[in-house]
Structure 1
Amino acid sequence: MILKELDNVPAADRFSVAGHKAEKALAFYLKRGFGRDKKFHVLNGIRLEHDDDAVQIDHLILHPYGFIIVESKSVHDTVHIDRHGHWCRTFKGQRKGMGSPILQAERQTDFLKDIFEDRREEVIGTLFGIQQGLGGRTYDVLVAISDNGRITCERGALDPRICKADEVVDRVRSIYKGYKPSLSLLDSRPKFRLADMDSIATFLVENHRPVGTDAPPVVEPSPWPGFGLRSEPELAPETPRRPAKTPPEPTHTCGKCGDGGDLRILWGPYGYYFKCGACGGNTKAQATCGACGKPARVRKQGRAFFAECQACGTSRAYFSNPPEDADAAE
């Protein structure tokens, strides 16, 4: 499943144009390979900030056993790796040194682990009142060289973490299968539930910070509303916000049949939406600030949902699910 597409980034120079082209090509392969596979959650172009630092991850793949970071490299000629693991690229007949994409991806892995450790309650929430963790999960890296590039190395056998862009899907599946136990063995390795994977992906998308922006991205409705439905994990109470000078909770109706008597909010891979019990239709849960009129973010707390305005700092009641939906996490 593709849970985040690449952002449309204005090109600063020909190198950034080439880099974005390589990322788009790999995103295409990932979509073709995992577009409807619920075992793999793909996020393209995630930029995260933490402790006055930031990291840009070209492609992040979640699977039941852990995470795979894919670093995409645009190469129009040749990349060469010497016996010490040093990289250089050839362009128009001239060699030029470059940083190791393997080490770059490993640094991104360390950054990701730090975020998960420091904000684990937001990432995966609690189960039966017990704080969940991410211990025992796997972290792998791959480096994808653009299809028209060539790779040479002094050591003979190429590091299996390095491949062409069109080979990435097979490498990812191979990594995943390597963690699956055989039928004769008991599976004792920690695994993510689908709800866990949804929660992690949601946390990452909501904390994506493109360069030059402070607000979280707008989450689009899922093209596959039935995939990964869950209620978002309970979050710790937030700092009280200034109340908005607006009427109480608004009235909502189904966008398909117009009925408003049997609605509940569900969570899909791309955000909140209303599910109509009368006709089965889905309607995106959109909120507008009653104070300033700008789009607001929908936040869940128990059965209640609130419209949170980043622009003016107000919060108002948005909707409440029926009591029987309070524990509909899975």
Structure 2
Amino acid sequence: MILKEKAPSNASCVRLAAGIKQEQDVAFYLRRAYRNSEKVMVLNDISIEHDGERAQIDHLIIYTYGFIIVESKSIRGQVIVNEEGEWIRSYNNKWSGMPSPIKQAELQLALLRQFLIANTYDVIGTFLGIQQGLGARCYDVFCAISSDSIIDRSRAPQEVASRLVKSEFVTDVLDKTMDFKKFYQVVGKVFDSRPGFNAKELMHISNFILRHQSGTAEATNLNPFNVPKSYSSVTPPPSTVNHDANTTVVSCKHCSDTTPLSAHSGRYGYYGKCGNCGGNTPLKKPCSTCNNKETEVKKRGNVFTLHCDSCYSVTRIAVK
């Protein structure tokens, strides 16, 4: 499932524009492979801050057994990785050294891991009922390089060479790393000791990371309990709604009275009864944030909330 797309952007610098295109290409392959998956969550172009450090991550994969960072690197020409894992590239027929994107991704992953472990209770808490912490999960990195580059990894250390992949093969190596056992591989499943997240836990963790991005709109717009319709059994408690959600008023469709309606449940869902004319009005309405019509009304205690399946916003409904 794609929870955050690569934001469109323009660049006047040729090299910067090439880097943006490379990230968009990798995001395209990830979208094609995992957009309908409930086991794989994809977050493109996110920023994490922890302990005074910041990591800008091109592509974060959160899956049943852990976390994978994919660093996109636009390289035109030839790349050589030597025995020490050092990178050399050709540009305009000139050779020069370059920082290792594998090492860069490893530093990003280390910060992400520290961030998650430091916030273990908030990330998984008692809400999810996970018995094992986040430290034992799988953590991996890969570097996706431009498809038209030439890579010489013949002398590179195996742990580096195995992490280099051209864009069009990125989902192949991800599938191999995630190693989901097919339903008929009973023996493999029995001996697979990796602790796993279920679908609701994956969504909860993904939303936690999105809400804590540095300097982005997601930090204020998302709620840790905002989950798609397929996970609608998760409903925010009243205290969470009061703190995180705005309030919307459903006016009577008969007399347009804006006095809060009295809430009721009927054959076609939740509705409000007008105290002025006595008419009934559905509480479901288009999302006030993105105007999406695919919304859902949920009730927890005496609190009614409107959930959007498009932007994942949650709005409290003013009712009596």
| TM-score, length-scaled by structure 1 | 0.69
Could you tell me how far 1:50 is from its partner in structure 2? 1.8
Contact 1:125/1:234, CA 8 A, preserved across alignment? no
The structure 1 residue matched to 2:206, chosen from 195, 201, 207, is 201
Unaligned runs of 5+ in 2: 254-260, 272-281, 291-299, 307-314
Contact 1:121/1:132, CA 8 A, preserved across alignment? no
Who is 1:150 aligned against?
150
Deviations 1:238-271 (A, max 9, x none): xx99xxxxxx96534899xxx97449xxxxxxxx
Instruction: Tell me the amino acid that sits aligned with residue 175 of structure 1.
Output: T
Deviations 1:28-60 (A, max 9, x none): 111111111111100100111222221101001
Query: Percent of aligned pairs with the same residue?
Result: 34
Task: Check 1:226–1:96 CA distance in 2 against 1; reply closer, same or farther (3 A cut).
Answer: same
Question: Max radius of gyration: which structure?
Answer: 2
**C-alpha separation in 2, matches of 1:214 and 1:11:** 22
Instruction: Tell me the amino acid that sits aligned with residue 219 of structure 2.
Output: P
Task: Check 1:36–1:250 CA distance in 2 against 1; reply closer, same or farther (3 A cut).
Answer: closer
The correspondence of residues 90-129 of structure 1 with structure 2, limited to 5 A, is: 90-127=90-127
The structure 2 residue matched to 1:189, chosen from 194, 206, 215, is 194
Contact 1:125/1:233, CA 8 A, preserved across alignment? no
Instruction: Tell me the amino acid that sits aligned with residue 100 of structure 2.
Output: S
RMSD after superposition: 4.3
Who is 1:53 aligned against?
53
**C-alpha separation in 2, matches of 1:50 and 1:103:** 19
**C-alpha separation in 2, matches of 1:318 and 1:88:** 56
The structure 2 residue matched to 1:318, chosen from 306, 316, 319, is 316
The correspondence of residues 244-283 of structure 1 with structure 2, limited to 5 A, is: 250-252=248-250, 261-262=264-265, 276=269, 283=286
For the residue of structure 1 that corresponds to 2:31, the secondary structure is helix
For the residue of structure 1 that corresponds to 2:230, the secondary structure is coil
Instruction: Tell me the amino acid that sits aligned with residue 97 of structure 2.
Output: G
Deviates more, 1:95-104 or 1:175-184: 175-184
Could you tell me how far 1:131 is from its partner in structure 2? 8.1
Contact 1:124/1:132, CA 8 A, preserved across alignment? no
Who is 1:67 aligned against?
67
**C-alpha separation in 1, matches of 2:128 and 2:39:** 24
**C-alpha separation in 2, matches of 1:249 and 1:119:** 29
Could you tell me how far 1:102 is from its partner in structure 2? 1.1
Contact 2:87/2:100, CA 8 A, preserved across alignment? yes
Could you tell me how far 1:117 is from its partner in structure 2? 1.4
Who is 1:170 aligned against?
172
**C-alpha separation in 1, matches of 2:122 and 2:239:** 8
**C-alpha separation in 1, matches of 2:45 and 2:56:** 7
**C-alpha separation in 2, matches of 1:285 and 1:67:** 34
Task: Check 1:131–1:302 CA distance in 2 against 1; reply closer, same or farther (3 A cut).
Answer: farther
For the residue of structure 2 that corresponds to 1:80, the secondary structure is strand
Could you tell me how far 1:149 is from its partner in structure 2? 1.1
Instruction: Tell me the amino acid that sits aligned with residue 209 of structure 1.
Output: S
**C-alpha separation in 2, matches of 1:22 and 1:176:** 23
Contact 1:83/1:153, CA 8 A, preserved across alignment? no
1:5 aligns with 2:8: no
**C-alpha separation in 1, matches of 2:303 and 2:318:** 4
Task: Check 1:71–1:302 CA distance in 2 against 1; reply closer, same or farther (3 A cut).
Answer: farther
Unaligned runs of 5+ in 1: 242-247, 264-274, 288-300, 308-316, 322-330
Who is 2:35 aligned against?
35
1:160 aligns with 2:162: yes
Could you tell me how far 1:9 is from its partner in structure 2? 3.8
Could you tell me how far 1:77 is from its partner in structure 2? 1.1
For the residue of structure 2 that corresponds to 1:72, the secondary structure is strand
Task: Check 1:18–1:160 CA distance in 2 against 1; reply closer, same or farther (3 A cut).
Answer: same
Who is 1:310 aligned against?
none
Deviations 1:190-241 (A, max 9, x none): 100111100111011112234xx68736559xxx95334352677998xx99
How many pairs are equivalent? 275
